[in-house]
Structure 1
Amino acid sequence: MRVAMVVPSNGFVGGIERHAHDLARGLSGRGHELTLVYGDLPGRQPTRFAEPFARAIPRSEAHTLRSATADGGVDIVYVHRAASAEELVDFGPLPLVVVSHDHDLTCVRSHRYLPIGHAPCHRPPGLACFRHGCVVVRDRRPESRLPVTLKNPYLLRRRLRGLATRAPLVSCSRYVRDQLVRAGVPPSRAHVIHPIPPEDDRPTVPRPKAPHLVCAGNLLRGKGVDIAIDAMRHLPADTELTIVGDGPSRADLERQAIAEAPRRIRFTGWVPPGEIASFYDQASVVVVPSRWPEPFGMVGIEAMRRARPVVAAGHGGIEEWANGTAGARTFAPGDARSLAEAARALLANDDAGSAALLHAQERFPHARLLDEVEALLGQVAA
C-alpha cells in the first residue's frame, strides 16, 4: 500500500515525530511505500528522520498526492495531528485517517489541567471551560498584538465533529478516545491504537544499586518535571536525578534544582532518540511525573524495555500501561511526596526491573501496533 504520512515537522521534536518515524520504519519493513509530508515546524536530524520514507515533500505540495494512479500518488493519507476538516482539503477525495496524539481536539488549553491550581481536568469542552477561566489562553502567533486570546469550546466541538465526519480518528489511548466520544465523536469513528515503540535489540544491563532517578521528555510545565525535582526533598540525600531533554521551562527548572536539591540534579539537554536508552540504563527508577493527563506516555514502555521500573502520575493514558505489574507504581498527580513514596517502594524492590521488562514484552509488542495500523488502513482504503 502507498501511504502518505503527514507530520507537523521535518525532523525530531517530541513524541509525535518519534512515533511517526518508528511507525514508518515498521510499515516500510512490511513492504509499504511511505511518503513523508512535512510541515513548517523546525525539527532535529531531518535526514535521519526521513530515512524510512521513499520520498519527502513539503505540506504545500500535498495536492500532488491526489491521484492514486499517477506517479507519486498514494492510496491513503495518515495524518499525525489535524485541528479541522478544512486543514485537509488539499488531499481532495483521498481516504484519510487522523491521529489524535494529545488533547488539542478536546481541550481549549490543550493541557487538560486548570490554569489556577493546575488540577487535572477531565471535562468535555463546554460551560466548564468558561467557569474555570480556560477560555483565556496565550496567543503565541507572531502577528498578535495581545498576549492572550479567547477560545470557544463550542466551536472546538463543531470542528471536531466535522473532522470525524471527514476521517476516522485514531486515539493513542482509551483515555483519549473517551474524551473524543464525550466531546461528540461517534464511537464508531474513534479507534484506539497505542503508539508502542519498537523493541530495543541491545541487551539489558544490570540495574544500578545506587538510588538514581531519570526523567526524560520535553521540559514543559505539563510534563511535571518540577514535581520530580520537588520530590527529591523527600528522598534520601544520596538519591540523584538526571533530567533528559530540553524545552522552554529549562531555566526555571535549573533554578529550582539549585534551590531544592543542589548538586543532586543533572540536566543533559536534548538527546537524540537513539541515545535515550543509555540514560535509562543509568537509572534505578525512571520517573514520568506528568502534570497533564498524559495521552499515553511512550517513555514508560521504553524504560521497561530496558528492565527499568517506572513511577508515573496515575492519570490519563499512563494507567493503561502502568497498572497490572510490579514493575511500575503510580502516584497521586501533582503530589511530590506521593511520587517519593512510590519511588522508594520501587528502589527497595530488587525484582521490579525484571517485572517491568516482562510486562513490556508480553503486553506491548511493537508488532501489535503495526498489525492494528495495517488493518485500519486496509479497512479505510477499501
Structure 2
Amino acid sequence: MRVLVAHNWYRTEQPSGENNVVAQEVALLREAGHQVDLFERRSDDIAGFSVPRKALVPLGVPFNPRARTAFTERLRLERPDVVHVHNTFPMLSPSILDACRDARVPVVATLHNYTQICPTGTLYRDGGVCTSCVGRLPLPAVRHGCYRGSAVASVPVAVSLRVNRRRWWKTVSRFLCISDAQRQTLVANGMPAEKLTVKYNFVEDTAHRRTGTGEHLLYLGRLAEEKGVRLLMAAWDRLAASGGIGVPLVIAGAGPLEDEVVRWVATRHNVRFVGRLDNAASRAAVARSVAVVVPSEWLETFGLVVVEAMSAGVPSVVAGHSSLAELVSDGVTGLTHRPGDEASLADALARVVRAPSSLGRAARERYEREFTRAVGLTNLVKHYRQVIGEARHGTQAVR
C-alpha cells in the first residue's frame, strides 16, 4: 500500500510517547514493504521563526490554508491509498482533512489523547477529571487558562475544537483509539461510536529482561501533577515513616515539577533522581525494577511504560482506572491502587515488593499476545485495508 502519514512532531525537549509511536509505525510499515511517505512539521522549528511568523502560528491552529495547499499537492503527486493522521497541532491544522475529502482519499486518525472533546486533550484540570468543555462552547478552557496556564494561549485550541468537530467526525473514515477505556470515554462524550475502534500501540521487544527480583521501584515519565508524582512522593513518605519497604525508589523523567522533585529527593536517603533517560537507559532501568509505578490521576489513554515493563517481564503498580486498569490485571500482571489515594498506593508498593515472580511472567505473556511488532503490523494493515475497501464500495463498516 501507499500510505501518507501526517504528523506535527512535538518539541524534542518534551518527552513524547506519541512521537515514538509514529516513528515506530512508519518504520514497521516500511520494513513490511509498504510505501510510506511523511507530511510533517516540527514544533522545534518555531524557535527559529521570525517574530512576525511566530505570531502567526496560533492563528493557523484552527485552520492553516498554507498547510492545506501543500497537502493537496502531496496528495496529487503521491496518490496514496490511505492517509494516516496523528497530530495536527500547531502547524498542520485539521485543514488537511479538506484536502483528503476533495481528493477522495480515505483517512485513518489515531487518537493519542482526548483532543476531540477537550481543548488540551487531557480531561484534567485543577487536580481532577474535568469535562467542562465537553459538548458545549469550550469557554471554560479559556477562562481557566487550561493550555500553558494562559487564557490567551488557550483561545486557539478552544476555537479549533469548536470549529473542527464536524470536519473531523465527517471526514475521517476510522478513528483508532489506543485503549478500550479511551474509546468508551469518547463515545460516552458524544463521538460517533461506529467510527471508533481499538488498536493498541505496539512496543518494541527488549534485550533487557529482568533476572531475579529487581533492585528498585521505578517511576519513569513526565514529572507533572496529572501523572501522580506528588501522590507518589506522599505515599513514599508514608512508607518511610513506618520503616520503609527495603528497596529504593528511582525517579526518571522531566517536566514542570522537576525542581520540586529534586528538592524532595535531596532530603531522602532511599530515593534517587536520575533525570531524563534515553531509550536504551530507560529499558535497562525498567529491567532492573521490582516494578514500575504509574500513579496517574488523569484518564490515561494508554500506558507505554507499562507495556515496556511487560516486555521485560516486570509487573506494574498503577492507578486502577482508565487504560491502566485495562492493561494491568490486579494480582495477575501487577497491582492496582485507588486513584488519588496515597494510603492505597503505599499499600500497593509494599505488597509488590513481596509479590511472587509469577506477576512478571504473566506480564511478559500478555505482551507476547497483544503488544508485539507482529501484532501491531497485522492490526494496522487490517484497518487500512478496511477503510480502503469501504471507500471503493461506498460503505462503512460498523465497529
TM-score range, shorter chain: 0.7 to 0.9
Shift in Å, 1:316: 1.2
Q: Secondary structure at the match of 2:18?
A: helix
Shift in Å, 1:121: 4.3
Aligned mates of 1:206, 1:341 — CA distance in 2: 25
Q: Secondary structure at the match of 1:295?
A: coil
Shift in Å, 1:129: 7.7
Give matches, 1:106-121, under 5 Å: 106-115=117-126, 118-121=127-130
Shift in Å, 1:79: 0.8
- Compared CA separation, residues 101 and 372, structure 1 to 2 (3 A): same
User: CA offsets, 1:312-370, max 9 Å, x none?
Assistant: 11111112211266221111112222112112222101322222222322343332221
- Compared CA separation, residues 329 and 301, structure 1 to 2 (3 A): same
1:4 aligned partner: 4
- Compared CA separation, residues 346 and 101, structure 1 to 2 (3 A): same
2:380 aligned partner: 373
Corresponding residue to 1:17 among 16, 19, 36: 19
Shift in Å, 1:135: 5.4
Corresponding residue to 1:37 among 19, 36, 39: 39
Aligned mates of 1:231, 1:324 — CA distance in 2: 19
Output the TM-score relative to the length of structure 2: 0.78
1:165 aligned partner: 170
Give 5+ residue unaligned stretches, structure 2.
46-65, 390-399
2:186 aligned partner: 180
Aligned mates of 1:232, 1:141 — CA distance in 2: 29
Judge which range, 296-305 or 342-351, deviates more.
342-351
- Compared CA separation, residues 82 and 182, structure 1 to 2 (3 A): farther
2:71 aligned partner: 62
Corresponding residue to 2:362 among 329, 335, 355: 355
Shift in Å, 1:112: 1.9
Q: Secondary structure at the match of 2:317?
A: strand
Any conservation in 1 of the 2:219–2:293 contact (CA below 8 Å)?
yes
Aligned residues: 355
* Aligned partner letter, 1:220: A
User: CA offsets, 1:137-177, max 9 Å, x none?
Assistant: 327689x8957659869x84663343011002111111221
Corresponding residue to 2:321 among 312, 315, 323: 315
Q: Secondary structure at the match of 2:128?
A: coil
Any conservation in 1 of the 2:81–2:388 contact (CA below 8 Å)?
yes
1:125 aligned partner: 134
Shift in Å, 1:374: 0.5
User: CA offsets, 1:168-211, max 9 Å, x none?
Assistant: 211111122122223332211111111121222x152313455x
Corresponding residue to 1:265 among 262, 266, 271: 271
Aligned mates of 1:219, 1:175 — CA distance in 2: 23
2:393 aligned partner: none
Give matches, 1:275-314, under 5 Å: 275-314=281-320
Any conservation in 1 of the 2:112–2:177 contact (CA below 8 Å)?
yes
Aligned mates of 2:82, 2:156 — CA distance in 1: 35
Shift in Å, 1:89: 3.3
Any conservation in 2 of the 1:37–1:59 contact (CA below 8 Å)?
no
Aligned mates of 2:344, 2:167 — CA distance in 1: 41
Any conservation in 2 of the 1:139–1:146 contact (CA below 8 Å)?
no
Counterpart check, 1:330 vs 2:341? no
Counterpart check, 1:250 vs 2:258? yes
- Compared CA separation, residues 345 and 369, structure 1 to 2 (3 A): same
Aligned mates of 2:369, 2:234 — CA distance in 1: 34
Aligned mates of 1:203, 1:237 — CA distance in 2: 25
Q: Secondary structure at the match of 1:138?
A: coil
Any conservation in 1 of the 2:201–2:371 contact (CA below 8 Å)?
no
Higher relative contact order (CA 8 A, sep 6+): 2
Aligned mates of 2:205, 2:151 — CA distance in 1: 47
Any conservation in 2 of the 1:197–1:302 contact (CA below 8 Å)?
yes
Output the TM-score relative to the length of structure 1: 0.82
Q: Secondary structure at the match of 1:42?
A: helix
Give matches, 1:107-256, under 5 Å: 107-115=118-126, 118-121=127-130, 125-126=134-135, 136-138=143-145, 146=152, 156=161, 159-167=164-172, 168-200=174-206, 202=207, 204-208=209-213, 210=215, 212-235=216-239, 236=244, 238-256=246-264
Any conservation in 2 of the 1:325–1:356 contact (CA below 8 Å)?
no
Aligned mates of 2:183, 2:257 — CA distance in 1: 29
User: CA offsets, 1:216-238, max 9 Å, x none?
Assistant: 11222222222222221133164
* Aligned partner letter, 1:165: K
Any conservation in 1 of the 2:317–2:348 contact (CA below 8 Å)?
yes
Any conservation in 2 of the 1:85–1:166 contact (CA below 8 Å)?
no
Q: Percent identity?
A: 25
Judge which range, 183-192 or 77-86, deviates more.
77-86
Give 5+ residue unaligned stretches, structure 1.
44-57
RMSD of equivalent CA atoms: 3.2
Judge which range, 276-285 or 238-247, deviates more.
238-247
